[in-house]
Structure 1
Amino acid sequence: AARHPGPPAHHTCHPAAEPGSNVTQPSAKQDHQPDQGDADKPGEKHTEEFRARIVGDKRVQAGESISTGAVLRRMPQLIRRALALAWAADARSTLLLLVCQVASGISGALALYFTTGTLDALLVPGPVTDHLADAAPYLGVLAAAAALRAVLGIAVTALAGRVAPRINREADLALIAAGCAAELTAYDEPAFNERWESADRGAATTPDLLTNAQDVIASTISLLAAASVLATLHPWLVPFLVLGSVPTGIAAVRTARIHYLASVTTGEERIALRIYRWYLMDKGRADQVRSDQVTPFMMGKYREVEARIAAATDRATGDAARISLVAALGTGAGSALIWGTLLFLVSTGRIDLAAAGAATFGLRTAASGVQGMVGNGARLYRMGLYLDDYFAFLDEAGGYRIRRGSAVPEAPTTIEVNDLSYVYPGEQQEPALRGVSLTLRAGEVVAVIGQNGSGKSTLLKLLGGLYLPQPGAGTLTWDGVPIEDLDAEGLWSRVARVPQEFARWPVLASENLHLGHHDGDPAAAVEAAAALTGFDETVARLRSGWRTLLAQGWLGGAELSGGGWQRAAVARAFYRTERHPGLLVLDEPTSDLDPRAEHKILHALRGFAPGRITLLVTHNLANARLADRIVVMDGGRIVQAGTWHDLADRPDGLFRELLDLQRDRALPGQRAAAE
């Protein structure tokens, strides 16, 4: 499961794309369950399963490409990449790690060389005690080499333990930075969420990548040391270096392919599991989980998905076990041939008994080296596939990296919207906006009114540069400059927003307002903004005042009421627009507030109007009285515009309809006592 919290956005159920399509989109597996009769009848209903499928995903093809040759070809590149990551995280420790590994390999080679001398001194006629003096120098070198290798092994483990967490930390930071550098529209695209998941798995493999790279390097050094010793003993022994290890190595590659493909093909189910778990455990729905008694129902769905994953995993495990069994038989046959050859060389006098003993150690070391190279190389290759996803995401932020103009805007005097339309991704999506044209001017307060789904929030995101106009679907300019030609960070510095779902940051009360944007001591500006919303009164009741951690359940942090958080969100926008005037956007900013707090905020909002373009979205039409102009939206279009009195005095129109509904507070009469 991915480590970043929360479910991926917009993993919804849609009909699957046509076979062979390379369009990336979400889909749902459809179980054909007709009420009666043939499932293929026109208009027949199907039951969809919740899952996210990315059409055109190439990871399955990548997994099928895993082979021994591919592993060997790519191994040097992956080792270089692992060492580059380690070097960037901690250059000094990485250098020491390499030195220790090379020194360990050299000491192993010396131990093999001196094993031959030891056996030559001991395996001669006569009492062994008479030859110990001759063998003593060799034994001393062997003991010293063994001790040195033990010390170097401890050093390698310690250095790897130091470097690996740093690699993981840097990988996580780079991944977060890349994700935050993506356009907001990326979160509407299922492909982005899948690429994020894949990149996250790649980031998680970075510490293991270094470990496997180390093991490959160590195995290679051991193999070279053993090969050099065996070559000096007898040339016939060199071809047998790999004979007993090739079957095991090939099996390691094939089992790695099996497990990788199992992981990839169950990816959509694992995403579903994480989302089900999130919905059951998230605090925001914990009350409804209990009151609606939804646990048995949702747990049943969780078990169904988990059963599919378990079945795929069991198949992969069985296939891998069968391959490993065949490999074990091949390795056994190869070992028998090696021992037969060694006995033949001894019996024919081609090598002496001491050399045979040394060859035994050399062959065992070589076999271990080959197995380590191929086995760890296969794991390294599989991790490399995940790492490819990680680096691809870093390069392009999942294909949605922010690439806009470089013009840094001042506070806009005019924002022009001309024939603007917008459609969210998905086959069944209706346009959220349809041919909207609008002019906004500095100093003006504009109220945006409309029913749910009328396009208000989409329009606000476009005006604030969070979304960009789609090609051929109209234009949006700040002071005559197309919004896509403006520097994104510069534009956002001129935007202060209170969205409906405002953030409740787990930081100090004061930090919740300034969020790191200040020129020194922000206390005075923070307190001034808080006073405009009544948030200062909320803070006064906190145990540590402005230094209170607003994160209940974490380090003893405090929690605010819904109204308290909304006051904080509005104060945050006021603080921001006071620092950099521009566009002030408030989407239902008083929905959780009592009348006194609402009155305070609306009066403050009017005072902020000069030098800014202010947009107010509200369902309480009485609050729209403070606006200079009202824009009424319906079905993605602007259907009315004018002052409050102009629209209220009209005998018809959507605004008058909504106003009459709000004024109509007639309720059914109370029942009589007899009733």
Structure 2
Amino acid sequence: MTHTPHQKTVPGARQERPRPSAPPELDYTGRRHRRAMEDAGLLDMARRIPAALGQTARLAWSVDRRMVIAILTCQLLSGVGTAVMLAAVAAAMRHLFSAADAGTALRAAWPALVVAAVAQAAGSAAWIGADWATRRLNPKIASAADLTIVDLHMRAELSAYDAEGFKDRSQAAETGALRAVDLADDAKTLTNAFVQLLSAASVLTVLHPLLLGVLLLSVVPRGMGGVIAARIDYRVHDRTVSARSVRGMMRWWLTTAELADELRANTMREYLHFWYRTMCDRVEGKELAGAGPYLRVTAVAAALSGFFVLGMWASLGALVLGGGMALAAAGTAIVASQTAGRALNAIVRYGAVMFHHGLYLSDYHAFLDEVRAMTLDRGTATVRAPRAIHLDEAEFTYPHKAAPALHKLSLTLERGEVVALVGENGAGKSTLVRLITGLTLATSGSVRWDGTDLAGADPESVWRHVGLVPQQNGHWPLAARENITLGRQTEFGDARVWQAAEQVGMGDALRALPDGLDTLLARSVWGGHELSGGQWQRLACARALHRSPGLLILDEPTSEMDARGEHLIFRALREMAKDRITLVVTHRLDNVKMADRIIVLDQGRIREEGTFDSLVSQPGSLLAELYALSQDR
């Protein structure tokens, strides 16, 4: 047996802590365009760019037609200015190189030089005009793209959120919406480059077709280098996107006040700092690794491009020396070739960028089509506040699930009664709430408010009679008043707001706020104020009560409240019960004693139903078992 000596401890010596394990390498492989940039060649890019231009143009046209027309007009004028400038330069060159003396040459050339200067200035002014119009258009494109996504999310059936990969496609669409603004700028630059190239190429072709061919050859290496460099950039982006995404989430967790107590009290700072620094190092390392290849590619492309540029100058010199081109024409060719070269470089560069952005814009449009097909489109029947809700063999199965979340279930809820819904986690309580409120339609069977099947009802008319307090209620960054009314005003004004607040015990807390009902409830915003967890729950209950709904549903409404708040809520429920159907979902079984009827769900089925006393006295009662467990805590 081998003896391992104990490590000696030197008094006063600093003990080195064991290094924590590094976070795992993350690589999200499900991205739709993961290898699109890697596999793209010049022809692939050339094929996709018109589609990206078309999508951008349609989006811009739908937002502000006047600005689109202004951009196109300014770009056309800029191209005309370039063509006129080059023609005027050619005319001036002939005078400058043919006159006997400088004075005569300048006198003969100055009208053409003035025309060239005016044309250049007009072209520059037109470009400034296009830039101004784009700056006016971009915010509108950004808002329109963002609002469209948000609006469709709010109007989509809840089943859309349950579709496999919905969140991933939603995030890709949001990326496309952000890229739409970049695409508008890139499209402006790209189309302007085409106009400038056409103007300069026309002049070069008139002077000598050979010059245009050599110029194109000089740009090909730079274009290929641009594509390869774009691939390197994209590869670095692709390989770091996971680390950057998780690092961004972690940064919020490390800096938000919501987690500051836990971070400090549990001495998490040292490890989390190490974790965050590791992610930073990984991103930094991959970006630095891409710098060398990028430099080599761009250097080789520039060298080859320079070689062909020298060839163009040599061709020009040979034409002049051989008498195939006048010296004046050669001077014009130099100016035209520089203009055309800049335009070609811009076409290659922004073509690659538009190809990349266009992939995400395609995601945006594909997602919009998907969600539009899943927006609320049920029926037109208008319903009133229900006197009774009937479920007849109602069943619901989530997409891609084999077993139903709710099996065929028949149930009636009547106005004036308070019903408690009880069951273990996963029993189907939240799904049943969705069916009763029309948030989700049954996959088989029916749910009827009085005599109207919710499958044929206008959903907005249904929800006008619903007051819902979900488990996760919104801490809306709005004023206290709007957190109760959410914009729904009544003829009673603030009196109704205060009544709802008093019913849930929030009156004194709201009066104590710096600006009363006008206080912004968002501590992260300057001048905002924050509530405790229990106060937010009370406010959510006040929001539901303010609506005076025909159907009131409270899902774990008092989980963060103290005993006083809990007592006030349930007292208010009893006092208001006669005017509505009230359904309470809770795990705190002492509260169910106040219900007129208790429904116990178990694995998507109604296991038992009755009053508290009758159920807890039944042999084998699940409610009795759960209640006994709650009393042992």
Would you say same fold, with TM above 0.5? yes
573, 581, 592: which is aligned to 1:613? Answer: 581
* Structure 2 match to 1:28: none
Does the CA contact (< 8 Å) of 2:390 and 2:450 recur in 1? Answer: yes
* Structure 2 match to 1:128: 102
Q: Letter of the 2:300 partner, please give it.
A: V
350, 353, 357: which is aligned to 1:383? Answer: 357
CA distance in structure 1 between the partners assigned to 2:504 and 2:26 by the alignment: 43
* Structure 1 match to 2:565: 597
Counterparts of residues 12-31 of structure 1 (less than 5 Å): none
Deviation at 1:223, TM superposition (A): 0.9
Q: Could you say if the C-alpha distance between residues 287 and 404 of structure 1 is closer, same or farther in structure 2, counting changes exceeding 3 Å?
A: farther
Does residue 420 (structure 1) correspond to residue 395 (structure 2)? The answer is: yes
Q: Per the alignment, in what secondary structure is the counterpart of residue 34 of structure 2?
A: helix
Q: Letter of the 1:92 partner, please give it.
A: R
Q: Could you say if the C-alpha distance between residues 280 and 432 of structure 1 is closer, same or farther in structure 2, counting changes exceeding 3 Å?
A: farther
Deviation at 1:307, TM superposition (A): 4.8
Deviation at 1:144, TM superposition (A): 1.8
Does the CA contact (< 8 Å) of 1:66 and 1:254 recur in 2? Answer: no
1:220-267 Cα deviation digits (max 9, x unpaired): 111111112122222332323312112212332343344345544554
Deviation at 1:51, TM superposition (A): 5.7
Q: Per the alignment, in what secondary structure is the counterpart of residue 466 of structure 1?
A: coil
617, 627, 630: which is aligned to 1:659? Answer: 627
Q: Runs of 5+ in structure 2 lacking a partner?
A: 1-21
Q: Letter of the 1:150 partner, please give it.
A: S
295, 298, 301: which is aligned to 1:324? Answer: 298
CA distance in structure 1 between the partners assigned to 2:453 and 2:251 by the alignment: 43
Q: Per the alignment, in what secondary structure is the counterpart of residue 109 of structure 2?
A: helix
Q: Letter of the 1:530 partner, please give it.
A: A
* Structure 1 match to 2:9: none
Deviation at 1:436, TM superposition (A): 5.1
Deviation at 1:100, TM superposition (A): 1.9
* More helix, by proportion: 2
Q: Per the alignment, in what secondary structure is the counterpart of residue 243 of structure 1?
A: helix
513, 537, 543: which is aligned to 2:508? Answer: 537
Deviation at 1:645, TM superposition (A): 1.4
Does the CA contact (< 8 Å) of 1:112 and 1:361 recur in 2? Answer: yes
160, 165, 169: which is aligned to 1:191? Answer: 165
Deviation at 1:438, TM superposition (A): 3.5
Moved more, 237-246 or 268-277: 268-277
Does residue 491 (structure 1) correspond to residue 466 (structure 2)? The answer is: no
Q: Letter of the 1:128 partner, please give it.
A: A
633, 640, 649: which is aligned to 2:617? Answer: 649
Deviation at 1:570, TM superposition (A): 0.6
Does the CA contact (< 8 Å) of 2:391 and 2:409 recur in 1? Answer: no
* Structure 1 match to 2:531: 560
Does the CA contact (< 8 Å) of 2:397 and 2:403 recur in 1? Answer: no
Identity %: 38
Does residue 525 (structure 1) correspond to residue 525 (structure 2)? The answer is: no
Q: Per the alignment, in what secondary structure is the counterpart of residue 350 of structure 1?
A: coil
1:487-543 Cα deviation digits (max 9, x unpaired): 333333232111122111111111111112236664333233223222233222223
Q: Per the alignment, in what secondary structure is the counterpart of residue 416 of structure 1?
A: strand
152, 167, 176: which is aligned to 2:150? Answer: 176
Deviation at 1:636, TM superposition (A): 4.4
Does the CA contact (< 8 Å) of 2:390 and 2:410 recur in 1? Answer: no
Does the CA contact (< 8 Å) of 2:162 and 2:398 recur in 1? Answer: no
Q: Could you say if the C-alpha distance between residues 52 and 189 of structure 1 is closer, same or farther in structure 2, counting changes exceeding 3 Å?
A: farther
Deviation at 1:102, TM superposition (A): 1.6
Q: Letter of the 2:565 partner, please give it.
A: A
Q: Could you say if the C-alpha distance between residues 664 and 212 of structure 1 is closer, same or farther in structure 2, counting changes exceeding 3 Å?
A: closer
1:567-594 Cα deviation digits (max 9, x unpaired): 2111111122x1x42x211112223334
Q: Per the alignment, in what secondary structure is the counterpart of residue 346 of structure 2?
A: helix
CA distance in structure 1 between the partners assigned to 2:461 and 2:265 by the alignment: 46
Counterparts of residues 141-540 of structure 1 (less than 5 Å): 141-188=115-162, 191-260=165-234, 262-264=236-238, 266-310=240-284, 312-314=286-288, 316-397=290-371, 401-412=375-386, 413-416=388-391, 418=393, 420=395, 422=397, 433=406, 437-469=410-442, 471=443, 476-479=447-450, 483-518=454-489, 522-540=493-511
Does the CA contact (< 8 Å) of 2:428 and 2:603 recur in 1? Answer: yes
Residue-pair matches, total: 611
CA distance in structure 2 between the partners assigned to 1:79 and 1:506 by the alignment: 38
Q: Per the alignment, in what secondary structure is the counterpart of residue 46 of structure 2?
A: helix
Alignment RMSD:
3.1
Does the CA contact (< 8 Å) of 2:99 and 2:105 recur in 1? Answer: no
Q: Runs of 5+ in structure 1 lacking a partner?
A: 1-46, 666-675
Deviation at 1:125, TM superposition (A): 6.0
Q: Letter of the 2:250 partner, please give it.
A: Y
